[in-house]
Amino acid sequence: MYNNIKKQQDIRASDTSDDIDLLYLFRKIGEGFRAVGNRIAYALKVVKKYYLSILLIMIIGVVMGYGLYYTTKPYYTSSMTLVLAQIRNEFVEDQLMKLSIMIDDDNFETIADRLDISEEQAKDIKGMTFFNLDQERIAEDSILTGSPFKVELSLYNSASFPVMEVALVDYLQSNRFFAKQRRIRQTLIQNMIGKLKSEVNSIDSIKTNVTDPRGPVNGFVYGEPIDPVNLYRESVSLYQQQIDLEAELEQLNTIEVVTGFSPRNKATGPRLKRYLAIGSLIAFMVGLVIAVNLDGKTRKG
């Protein structure tokens, strides 16, 4: 009996303690909101009192933002889309990431060497971003292969985009692994083309003997009757395969450019409105701090 009463008293005490804790928490939250409200009200009061001084500082900030805008070198941004030839996109991402790090580090000499461009052209590069266009279409545990790839480049000289397009593609294709795979595929296709040419020549020779015999012809090859129609069909089929392989050989690149960098006449940045807004905002904050300190000294005085 005593134990039951003791337990009930402990439960009531626990409930009361929880209520007190919640009330204390809500009280503190309310005090925090009131403190914030008081600070905002005081800041507005200070702004109203010293608005001329704050306005003057803001004008100075706008002028500084304007001056900074005109001293900042303009840059141009454009993008190109690439298609990878059955290779994993993460390999290309790794190459571009290394190049991006060199750009961020202003390592112009190495950039010029890797892209096979002049150091002055390397200095024209402001920044680079890249991403897979099909990244959201695959499952998280899947490997993205042969997907369109977008590279966005910012340059200080818009005339350098054609040079950078060729340089970036060559840089990506110079990868030793990609180059090796390309050589293997090239050798395989060339061997297949040679084999098809030999087969086509053999069939053409047989067709010539059938249509224009020069000696006794019995109409049989290796004990089988010769059907000229089938010979022509087989010849056309092999020749079509040969043409397809030759076309593939011509396009045997690790990376193909779908859309190149577009020429830009109008600078992407800097943007005047942004500089003016940032300058005025920073100046306002500085002016408010100064006004609060002045008001505090006036009160103490």
Hey, where are the domains in the chain? 1-41, 76-175+260-269, 181-208+220-253
| Whole-number pLDDT of residue 123 | 94
pLDDT at residue 265 is higher than 90: no
* Token pair listed for 103: 């750009």
| Whole-number pLDDT of residue 4 | 55
Distances 183 to 60, 173, 180, 188, 249 between C-alpha atoms, Å = 64, 12, 5, 9, 11
For 204-224, what is each residue's pLDDT tens digit?
776 666 555 555 544 444 445
For 3-33, what is each residue's pLDDT tens digit?
555 455 555 555 555 555 677 777 878 888 8
Highest mean predicted confidence (pLDDT) among 97-106, 134-143, 239-248 = 97-106
Counting Cβ atoms within 10 Å, is residue 223 exposed (0-12), middle (13-18) or buried (19+)? Answer: exposed
For 39-49, what is each residue's pLDDT tens digit?
888 889 988 98
| Whole-number pLDDT of residue 229 | 64
Calculated CA dihedral for residues 226, 227, 231, 237, nearest 10 degrees? -140
Q: What is the mean pLDDT of the chain?
A: 79
